């Protein structure tokens, strides 16, 4: 079984500052991958960043980076130089490379203050 | 631009009156998903198609059905909507289901917000 926990229902950050959203998971799968998706208010879900579990190097996409700690089963998202457009609900999810089974976390709503 | 399109964006139906939501994609992806998302909650996967193979989640109510007549289109049928079925319904696609990560990135449509009166 797979579980994903986002323990912060809401977070806020001042514009231009850095914020970290947490995600922990549990899985019995040996081969899996993790994604962070962003869902702005009334807009569609888009991919922020992805990480394959077998890769030790943390993924980075511009201002977005992850801190992937496989042994601790932690996959946090760091947003640097926060912008007003980063305000959204962020979902972490884990998928199995073997079965395709996927599980979303509960989401974290990020508010960016000007 | 390649995309996932959902129609209508807003749908109002009456309690017990069947309703169909549609999704189309220009990505030529093999997999199409339907999710139910209630306010401020995670999307809940209802089912997915891998090509013509239908895969139902164990806890998806029988009230929800789906059809995929071709690669591009997928429909969600709610046979007898109840008040508890009011939600945002998201369609998504991916190249694959399992396997390398690049095949599993999901592309989402804008959603259809269903209201049940």
Q: What is the pLDDT of residue B74?
A: 97
Average pLDDT over all residues of chain B: 94
Contact B97 A100 (CB under 8 A): yes
Q: Is A113 helix (H, G, I), strand (E, B) or coil?
A: strand
Q: Backbone phi, then psi, for B102, in 5-degree steps? A: -65, -20
The residue ranking higher by pLDDT, A106 or A42, is A106
Number of domains in chain A: 1
Q: Residue B85: what pLDDT?
A: 97
Q: Are strands B10-13 and B112-116 parallel, antiparallel or unpaired?
A: parallel
User: By CA distance, what is B41's nearest residue in A?
Assistant: A106
Which of A2-6, A27-31, A105-109 is predicted with the least confidence, judged by mean pLDDT? Answer: A27-31
In this predicted structure, what is the pLDDT of residue A101?
82
Q: Rounded to whole angstroms, what are the CA distances from B34 to A70, A75, A85, B84, B94?
A: 30, 26, 27, 17, 12
Q: Is A44 on the interface with B (CB under 8 A)?
A: yes
pLDDT at B77 over 70: yes
Check residue A62 and give its pLDDT: 95
Residues of A within 8 A of B99 (CB-CB) are 97, 100
Answer whether A8 touches B (CB < 8 Å).
Answer: no
Q: Kindly report the CATH number assigned to the domain that includes residue A14.
A: 2.60.40.10
Average pLDDT, chain A: 93
Query: Above pLDDT 70, what percent of chain B?
Result: 98
Domain holding A79, by residue range, is 3-113
> Is the Cβ of A64 closer than 8 Å to some Cβ of chain B?
no
Question: B41 vs A35: CB contact, 8 Å cut-off?
Answer: no
What does the pLDDT read at residue B1? 67
Provide the pLDDT confidence category of residue B98 given band limits of 50, 70 and 90. confident
CB atoms within 10 A of CB B55: 14
User: With contacts defined as CB-CB under 8 Å, which chain A residues touch B97?
Assistant: 100
pLDDT at A39 over 90: yes
* Predicted pLDDT at B2: 65
Closest-CA residue of B relative to A98 is: B98
**A35 to chain B: nearest residue by CA?**
B105
- A97:B101 CB<8 A: yes
* Closest residue in chain A to residue B107, using alpha carbons only: A46
- Confidence label for B110 from pLDDT (cuts 50, 70 and 90): very high
- pLDDT band for A88, please (50, 70, 90 cuts): very high
Q: Which residues are CB-neighbours of A108 under 8 A, at least 6 positions away?
A: A6, A8, A9, A10, A11, A21, A22, A89, A90
Distance CA A30, CA A34 (A): 13
The 3-class SS string of chain B reads CCCEEEECCEEEECCCCCEEEEEEECCCCCEEEEEEECCCCCCEEEEEEECCEEEECCCCCCCEEEECCCCCEEEEEECCCCHHHCEEEEEEEECCCCCCHHHCCCEECCCEEEEEC
CB contact under 8 A, A33 and B104: yes
**B104, A45: Cβ pair inside 8 Å?**
no
Rounded Cα distance between B37 and B35, Å, is 6
Query: Does the pLDDT value for residue A1 go beyond 80?
Result: no
Give the residue, B101 or A74, on which the prediction is more confident. Answer: A74
Coil, helix or strand at residue A114: coil
Task: With beta carbons less than 8 A apart as the criterion, state whether A45 and A37 touch.
Answer: yes
- Residue A17, pLDDT > 90, answer yes
B4-36 confidence digits (pLDDT tens): 999 999 999 999 999 999 999 999 999 999 999
Q: Kindly list the structural domains of chain B, giving each domain's residue range(s) and its CATH number in brackets, ordered by start.
A: 4-116 (2.60.40.10)
The answer, yes or no, to whether residue B105 has pLDDT greater than 70, is yes
Size of interface A-B (CB pairs under 8 A): 51
């Amino acid at each position: 079984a797979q579980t994903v926990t986002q323990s912060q229902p809401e977070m806020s950050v001042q514009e231009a500052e850095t914020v970290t959203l947490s995600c922990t998971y549990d899985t019995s799968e040996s081969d899996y991958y993790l994604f962070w998706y962003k869902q702005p208010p009334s807009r569609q879900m888009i991919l922020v960043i992805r990480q394959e579990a077998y890769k030790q190097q943390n993924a980075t996409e511009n201002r977005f980076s992850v801190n992937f700690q496989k042994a601790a089963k932690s996959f946090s998202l760091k947003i640097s130089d926060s912008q007003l457009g980063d305000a959204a609900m962020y979902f972490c999810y884990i998928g199995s490379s073997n079965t395709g089974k996927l599980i979303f976390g509960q989401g974290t709503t990020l508010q960016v203050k000007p | 631009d390649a995309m996932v399109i959902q129609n209508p964006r807003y749908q109002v139906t009456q309690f017990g009156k069947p309703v169909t939501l549609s999704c189309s994609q220009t990505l030529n992806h093999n997999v199409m998903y339907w999710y139910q998302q209630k306010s401020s909650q995670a999307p809940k996967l209802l089912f997915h198609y891998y090509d013509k193979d239908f895969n139902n989640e164990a806890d998806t109510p029988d009230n929800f059905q789906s059809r995929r007549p071709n690669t591009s289109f997928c429909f969600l049928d709610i046979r007898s909507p109840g008040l508890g079925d009011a939600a945002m319904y998201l369609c998504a696609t991916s190249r694959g289901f399992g396997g390398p990560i690049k095949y599993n990135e999901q592309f989402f449509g804008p959603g259809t917000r269903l209201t049940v009166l």
